[in-house]
Amino acid sequence: MGAKSGRVETRPYYSEKSLSARFYDLTTAADTSLAGDIDLYAALAPAGGSVLELGSGTGRVSFALAARGIEVLGVDLAPAMLAQAEAKLRATRPDLAARLRFQRGDMASLNLGERFDAVIAPYFALGHLPCGAAWRNVFTGVARHLKPSGRAAFHLPSAEMLGQPLPATRGPALVRPLEGDRRLVVNITDRSSKPQIGRYDQIVEYVVEGPRGVEASSLDHMTFYAADPLPFAEAAGLLADGIAALGPNPVHLFRKPAD
Ligand SMILES: C[S@@+](CC[C@H](N)C(=O)[O-])C[C@H]1O[C@@H](n2cnc3c(N)ncnc32)[C@H](O)[C@@H]1O
């Protein structure tokens, strides 16, 4: 159920019929802060190795890793995102499809009965969960699903970036052309933060404009949590393995000890 914001109902991000889910691939393709992320994740698994992707969404990363010969299991909580990944899977070449699996699951309560060379949570996936018990459960699960010496990577938003106030006068965050002389306009309409608990919220408006005016619109509510994951990883028995950077945001790297 959405919440009322003024007269317009907001939807949770990535929910059924949410325009954030429908246009995820289009908006992400324009996101320069992700440049280089596929190379980073591919380097964590050996040739022909296996990766578990937490919060795999529409399969942006999973498909790219499979194209490099890696076996990928993608897990995501949102049916609307999984539906897009499954649709792409049905349309992809058989040799690539054979290396890809997607399933519904909560990264905070995974027990898949298999182990992987690497576990990754690209593009702020962990940041959707409150920092605390949920992160502790995620890292316990990561340790359980990694092979000895396996690697893990968590791309998180920086608190500095999330905490920036919206400028008083601003244009759209993104405008992308659509088929049939239409366009998608994305606006950030509200932003708030509670830095003491590492919580950052924003309302994102998606508008599809056609030649005769607005064809569809939605207000999607996104919540992110930003914190240092090291204490949670160490409590699960993982070792720090450095911090890479993607644009202004960190990718925290960990390693499971050898047996
Ligand atoms: C920003 S998207 C990232 C998608 C993909 N990893 C990428 O890099 O393009 C974050 C994803 O995390 C998923 N997600 C949020 N909470 C989750 C949870 N508790 N367990 C599994 N997936 C979750 C969302 O449904 C969404 O698809």
CATH at 78:
3.40.50.150
Q: Would residue 127 count as lying in a domain?
A: yes
Residue 191 and residue 142 share a domain? no
Residue 231 and residue 181 share a domain? no
Span from the CA of 168 to the centroid of ligand 1 (angstroms): 31
Q: Would residue 94 count as lying in a domain?
A: yes
Residue 147 and residue 134 share a domain? yes
**Count of CB atoms situated within 10 Å of the CB of 5:** 13
Cβ–ligand 1 distance for 80 under 6 Å, the answer: no
Reading phi first (left if > 0) and then psi (alpha if -120 to 50, else beta), residue 77 is in alpha
Cβ–ligand 1 distance for 83 under 6 Å, the answer: no
DSSP, res 168 = S
Residue to mutate (ligand 1; options 28, 75, 81; most atoms within 8 A of CB): 81
Q: Are 46 and 149 in contact (CB under 8 A)?
A: no
Q: Would residue 126 count as lying in a domain?
A: yes
pTM of the model: 0.95
The pLDDT of residue 1 is 42
Residue 197 and residue 100 share a domain? no
Cβ–ligand 1 distance for 61 under 6 Å, the answer: yes
- Our CA angle for 232, 253, 160, nearest 5°, is 75
Which atom of ligand 1 lies at the shortest distance from residue 81's CA?
27
Task: For residue 220, list its beta bridge partners.
Answer: 11, 204
Residue 246 and residue 119 share a domain? yes
The pLDDT of residue 4 is 47
Cβ–ligand 1 distance for 37 under 6 Å, the answer: no
Residue 131 and residue 115 share a domain? yes
Q: Would residue 140 count as lying in a domain?
A: yes
Q: Would residue 26 count as lying in a domain?
A: no
Q: Are strands 8-12 and 71-76 parallel, antiparallel or unpaired?
A: unpaired
Task: For residue 65, list its beta bridge partners.
Answer: none
Residue 95 and residue 57 share a domain? yes
The pLDDT of residue 259 is 83
Closest protein CA for atom 18 of ligand 1: 106
Q: Would residue 75 count as lying in a domain?
A: yes
Cβ–ligand 1 distance for 76 under 6 Å, the answer: yes
Residue 136 and residue 235 share a domain? yes
142: helix, strand or coil: helix
The pLDDT of residue 2 is 47
Residue 136 and residue 67 share a domain? yes
d(CA 127, CA 123): 9
Cβ–ligand 1 distance for 206 under 6 Å, the answer: no
Residue 54 and residue 148 share a domain? yes
- Our CA angle for 46, 134, 194, nearest 5°, is 115
Residue 212 and residue 112 share a domain? no
Reading phi first (left if > 0) and then psi (alpha if -120 to 50, else beta), residue 131 is in beta
Domain span including residue 54 = 31-156+227-255
Side chain identity at residue 221, one-letter code: H
Q: Would residue 60 count as lying in a domain?
A: yes
195: helix, strand or coil: helix
Q: Would residue 100 count as lying in a domain?
A: yes
Cβ–ligand 1 distance for 125 under 6 Å, the answer: yes
**Tens place of pLDDT for every residue, the chain, 259 residues?**
445 444 568 888 999 888 999 999 999 999 999 999 999 999 999 999 999 999 999 999 999 999 999 999 999 999 999 999 999 999 999 999 999 999 999 999 999 999 999 999 999 999 999 999 999 999 999 999 999 999 999 999 999 888 888 877 778 999 999 999 999 999 999 999 999 999 999 999 999 999 999 999 999 999 999 999 999 999 999 999 999 999 999 999 999 999 8
Span from the CA of 228 to the centroid of ligand 1 (angstroms): 19
d(CA 100, CA 51): 10
Q: Are 225 and 199 in contact (CB under 8 A)?
A: yes
Residue 188 and residue 239 share a domain? no
DSSP, res 70 = -
The domain tally of the chain equals 2
Using a 10 angstrom Cβ sphere, with 0-12 exposed, 13-18 middle and 19 or more buried, the burial of residue 182 is middle
